[in-house]
Structure 1
Amino acid sequence: MASGADRISGLPEGVLHHILSLLPAQDAVRTCVLAQSWRHHWRSAPALRLAGCAGWAGGAYTFGPFVDALLRARRGGGGAPLDSVDFDLDVDLDLGRYDVPKMERHVNGWLRRALRRQVRDLRFRVSVAPRLTCALEDRPLASEHLTRLELVGVKGNAGVLDFSCCPALEELRMEDCDVGSTEMLSPSLKRLRIRYCIFYCNFRTGMSFPSLVSFEFITNAGRVPMLDSMPCLETATVRFDYLYDDRCRNGRLDDCGDASCYGCYYYHAPDDYDCVFLEGLTEVTDLTLSAYPDLYVFNRDLELCPAFSKLKTLVLSKWFVPDELSALTWFLHNAPLLEKLTLKPSKVRSKLMKRVRRYKPLEQSIAASHRQIVEIICEDVNEILLKILKVLKANGIPQEKIRIQCSAGYNFVSTEVEME
């Protein structure tokens, strides 16, 4: 290759634009000085990657005007529509006089302008030091082109979490957000992932996503939300950790009736609805449910929940152990197509009290021929494991279909465990 030969400029425009879309926005813009032919290439890059504030000389004071100018340059005929925009913003309020309202005005303006550029894939992450969530404007996001949205580190509200004005939106991810609304809805959404978010502690958030196919709800805090029906749902993974407020201070799984019990007092809304969470999942085919044993929502929901008529794969972790494994028995009777069941038991605090069960009358247990295998993953052979085996046997599960994995380092079939 001859010294100084420019091979990159000879690439097709589409390839050049793709290369520029992989660069941070400030580096992509700097290519305008390479040569006359490069002067406007950056305007047609299909993606913008806006990372920074902290890494800029002058911080947010210089980064903000750059982003404003960049988005203006992509307006109208000055630039092509955007396939994706990635805001990855770190703002340190301790480094200067950049106050919170000013910061929020900037980032909200960028978010709305990106939508006006017909962006299809939008990631919006804001990390503010000291630890704050960036509040979004209380009005709906509106875009006929947006198909995927990711929000990280922001505070929502009833306006921005109503996605009815985004008819093409199919995927939503929220992480480390303050939900800030009693309602979330989207008629078109198909994939939803919510992780490490905070919900209200004394109000339930209603969630309406009738087209949802995939649902992940992992390690959030506050009150468990109330789910509407999701008839298209195929897979769901739910994990409730210790941060949830749906716990009884008196250690009950049913309503203790104690007005001073924060967990039970705020359990129902004024209209006294029935199922809170599980009924919205009853159309699912692949389900994982994990929760601490003293979080009572699942157990209370089962009293009024209809059958899981399409469920084929089920993983139950921790929460099903209390109350003599009644939740396990419920699923054995109310999941007629279940093919694989995985159980991950845990120890239960002795003070956790039984509840008065009000389950609907159960049908006969599902035929063992429908179920290919039951897998139990446990720490060791203990009393809980033996109780599980007894429940399975009582509900017609042949021992040869039960596989047991112990963390002690050995596996066996249940025929090797003595059940009195």
Structure 2
Amino acid sequence: MEKLLEEFPIDFPGRMKMIQDNATNEEDKTYMVATSKADYVLRIALQMVNSKSKRNSNPLLPQDSSTPVNLQRQHRVAGHNNGLVIMQPHHKQASDGMVMTKDGHMLDQGSSINTRNGSIDRISNLPNELLYAIMSTLPALELVYTGMLSTRWRHLWTSSAYLNIDVNQFGRHRGQKFCNFVNRMLRQRGSSLLDALRLHSADTRDAGSWITYAIKRSSKVVEFSEDIDCEPFKLDYGVVDFTSICLKFLVLNNVCIDANVFYPINSSCPALENLELRDCSLEVPEISSGSLLHLDIDNCCLFEDLLISSSSLMSLCIKNPQHRAPMIMTLPCLEVAIVILDEFFHSTDDLADMDEGEEQDGEEINHGIVSGLTKARSIELIAPLREDKFEMEIWTSPMFDNLISLTLGEWCMSNEFSPLLHFLWYSPLLEDLTLKLNMEVCEYCLQEPPTAPPLVKEFTADYLKKITIYFWLGDERGAKNYKVMKRMEH
């Protein structure tokens, strides 16, 4: 371990004193109080679970003890993210565990301690399973530092099933020293299995091999992001291999990926359920994984036609695709679909100018979003008024028999609200309708006169319960939408 950390020299007593100080600060924030060793172990476990439940608005860790106790007599528990040190009551001799002195040195059981500010390491008495759970919350550098706590901890970190490697944690050592550190760390781990790898790098040539390292060690979660200030990281065929029977959750951020590298994601990841692609450059013809349940494509450049045909998909989110939109086959299991096009999306006409003559079987290259969403229960389609992508497709779409919740952008007001009315005519079970008018209206939209309310064709909306319109006060388009909605009531 000394060789692993030799490029990152530290003052060990100072480091331990810092951990102790941070532990006390954490205690002050959470009011975590333990009245016995069993209570301490329980609260450490709850704090660990709470740290993994960020989406839960109600903390799992209780803020106060359930029974009144004398604060002068009880044990005070402190933590460094995971409750590393337990503080003893004043004037009480420690009876077990490792002892940390005031200056940060570790002493064996039975060694004398400073009774004015004594502290004892109880965490080393916890079972390995709980220690590994605690380690799973630590960044890689701090994970390795735990090997300096005691003899028992020296190699414990090498069996941690979670790795969180972030180049930003290394400050000015972001270059070769960071690369050397990660390579040495992975070598010391050897063949130990992984559950999750979260890797954030910045122009690091070995990042691809680190991804493959995690895949080969049966990682269920792989999250890789290249720093946004860097060029997209090229995932090289022959270096990165996503073939895995264990991989369930894959996130790629700011990478360039081609068909050869992507192929195993479709064909050789039978457990894959979640795929997120963000700020990526894609040269991928199809996403067809038969196990995929959730797909997010956010702000990605599509350099060739992309067909989404994963029949198992339950949720689909496509935000701000660049150059072209993907094509979507009918997805029979789809529950939720979100497609957002921004002002910079290139329409079909734009692409015709960019790639003159690029067609497939006589069809335009940019088609087939709305028709693939007809089985969804919730649909959100957002685009500016001048973008006609959705409008061109909607007329060939069949009934939306399952649709309950619909959210549309201002594109639905074109041609006297005909896109909006089409959805209303062909969505017999619709209950919730939301219209979102762009809060930052483009100059083109401001120059256009407000669309006149149309004569509404008779139809029934027996299930429609709620209509919501978002617009700026004073925006006449909102008033026109309101008039259309009022006419539907009669």
Q: Would you call these one fold, judging by a TM-score over 0.5? A: yes
User: Does the CA-based 8 Å contact 1:246-1:264 persist in structure 2?
Assistant: no
Q: 1:153 — aligned with what?
A: 254
Among 269, 290, 302, the residue aligned to 2:360: 269
User: For residues 230 and 62 of structure 1, what CA distance do their matches in structure 2 show?
Assistant: 47
CA offsets per residue over residues 191-244 of structure 1, 9 Å max, x none? 1112122122xx422222211111111223110111122111111122100121
CA offsets per residue over residues 304-355 of structure 1, 9 Å max, x none? 11221110000111111111211011101111111111122457648889xx
TM-score by length of 2: 0.67
Q: Which residue identity is paired with 1:210? A: S
TM-score by length of 1: 0.77
Among 63, 72, 82, the residue aligned to 2:194: 82
* 1:222 aligned counterpart, secondary structure: coil
User: For residues 323 and 254 of structure 2, what CA distance do their matches in structure 1 show?
Assistant: 17
User: For residues 54 and 271 of structure 1, what CA distance do their matches in structure 2 show?
Assistant: 53
User: For residues 206 and 234 of structure 1, what CA distance do their matches in structure 2 show?
Assistant: 19
User: For residues 476 and 306 of structure 2, what CA distance do their matches in structure 1 show?
Assistant: 38
User: Does the CA-based 8 Å contact 1:236-1:286 persist in structure 2?
Assistant: yes
Q: Work out whether 1:371 is the aligned partner of 2:437.
A: no
Ranked by relative contact order (alpha carbons within 8 Å, sequence separation 6 or more), the top structure is: 1
Q: Which residue identity is paired with 1:377? A: Y
CA offsets per residue over residues 72-107 of structure 1, 9 Å max, x none? 33333xx2x21111101134xxxxxxxxxxx44x11
**Which one has a bigger Cα radius of gyration?**
2
User: Does the CA-based 8 Å contact 1:198-1:221 persist in structure 2?
Assistant: yes
Moved more, 311-320 or 44-53: 44-53
1:157-172 superposed matches below 5 A: 157-162=258-263, 163=265, 164-172=267-275
Q: Work out whether 1:136 is the aligned partner of 2:235.
A: yes
Count matched residues. Answer: 359
The alignment yields a C-alpha RMSD, in angstroms, of 2.8
User: For residues 58 and 275 of structure 1, what CA distance do their matches in structure 2 show?
Assistant: 47
Q: Work out whether 1:27 is the aligned partner of 2:142.
A: yes
User: For residues 53 and 372 of structure 1, what CA distance do their matches in structure 2 show?
Assistant: 49
Q: 2:133 — aligned with what?
A: 18
* 2:231 aligned counterpart, secondary structure: coil
Q: Work out whether 1:323 is the aligned partner of 2:415.
A: yes
Q: Which residue identity is paired with 2:235? A: L
Q: Work out whether 1:237 is the aligned partner of 2:338.
A: yes
Q: Work out whether 1:68 is the aligned partner of 2:160.
A: no
Q: 1:7 — aligned with what?
A: 122
* 2:470 aligned counterpart, secondary structure: strand
Moved more, 236-245 or 142-151: 236-245
Q: 1:181 — aligned with what?
A: 284
User: For residues 305 and 426 of structure 2, what CA distance do their matches in structure 1 show?
Assistant: 27
- Runs of at least 4 residues of structure 1 off by over 6 A? 350-353
1:17-416 superposed matches below 5 A: 17-52=132-167, 55=170, 58-76=173-191, 79=192, 81-91=193-203, 103-104=204-205, 106-127=206-227, 129=229, 131-138=230-237, 141-162=242-263, 163=265, 164-200=267-303, 203-246=304-347, 248=349, 262=353, 269-272=360-363, 275-345=367-437, 349=445, 366-380=459-473, 384-385=477-478, 387-389=480-482, 391-392=484-485, 397-398=488-489
Q: Give the deviation of 1:68 after TM superposition.
A: 2.1
Change (3 A) 1:370 1:29: same
Q: Which residue identity is paired with 1:369? A: D
User: For residues 352 and 223 of structure 1, what CA distance do their matches in structure 2 show?
Assistant: 26
Q: Give the deviation of 1:173 after TM superposition.
A: 1.3
User: Does the CA-based 8 Å contact 1:142-1:165 persist in structure 2?
Assistant: yes
Q: Give the deviation of 1:156 after TM superposition.
A: 1.2
User: For residues 148 and 109 of structure 1, what CA distance do their matches in structure 2 show?
Assistant: 18
